[in-house]
Amino acid sequence: MICMSNIKCAVFDLDGTLVNTLEDLAGACKILLKRYDFDAQWTMDDYRQFVGNGLKKLVERAFDHTLSEDELNARYAECKEIYDTIKLDHAHAYDGIKEQLGMLKKNSIKLCVVTNKPDVAAKGMVEHIFGKGFFDVIIGCVDGVPTKPDPTTTKQALAAVGCKPKEAIYFGDSEVDMRTAHNAGIEAVGCSWGFRSFQTLFAENPSVIIDDPKYISKLF
């Protein structure tokens, strides 16, 4: 059970939680697949299941696990370049997100983003959509640092804002996020408007699942 009176920090996943990025992520993969004449007929629902573990895993899944490690690293680098040119073409905050975050800020709740998206891309996207300085901390994927569900980056975010795990809530839309929260010792809130189903989130035993951003502020 979440003890609201103790909560000082809200940690958010990015893709599928704060921002709908699916169309641009899928678009980058489609460009890359076409470049290598890889005949994949993936649907948007397929891409919805592919995301969640970072861009490298997305590339691996898009090529149906057929790449060697060297090939994967090279294609991953290409995909990052492609995605960087189109990442803001269709990306947008989910309806009600900005208003809810504004309410948390008014109540002096620290706001953090922790994502498996490459760090530079994550910071650029968040600042473009929400404004520079809106979030207290933004942490993305950096080479050599473990990605979620490893709790390292989440713990870094909490340390940066001076909060303990018991003083935070973690909001995310995937099983990766729920496991990240559990691994970091933080209460997990599943967001079923994102890239995974209610059933997938429920199986990870979050403290609560919400189906609309309007419920975010009601947890504080």
Residue 89 and residue 27 in contact, taking contact as beta carbons nearer than 8 Å: yes
Distance between CA atoms of residues 177 and 62, nearest Å: 21
Of 26, 126, 135, nearest in space to 86 by CA: 26
Residue 219 and residue 2 in contact, taking contact as beta carbons nearer than 8 Å: yes
Give the pLDDT confidence of 145-186 residue by residue, as tens digits.
999 999 999 999 999 999 999 999 999 999 999 999 999 999
Give the pLDDT confidence of 105-137 residue by residue, as tens digits.
999 999 999 999 989 989 999 999 999 999 999
pLDDT exceeds 90 at position 54: no
Q: Domain 4-20+92-219, what architecture? A: 3-Layer(aba) Sandwich (3.40)
Q: pTM higher than 0.85 for the full model?
A: yes
Distance between CA atoms of residues 120 and 110, nearest Å: 21
Complete DSSP assignment for 117-142: EEHHHHHHHHHHHH-TTSSSEEEEE-
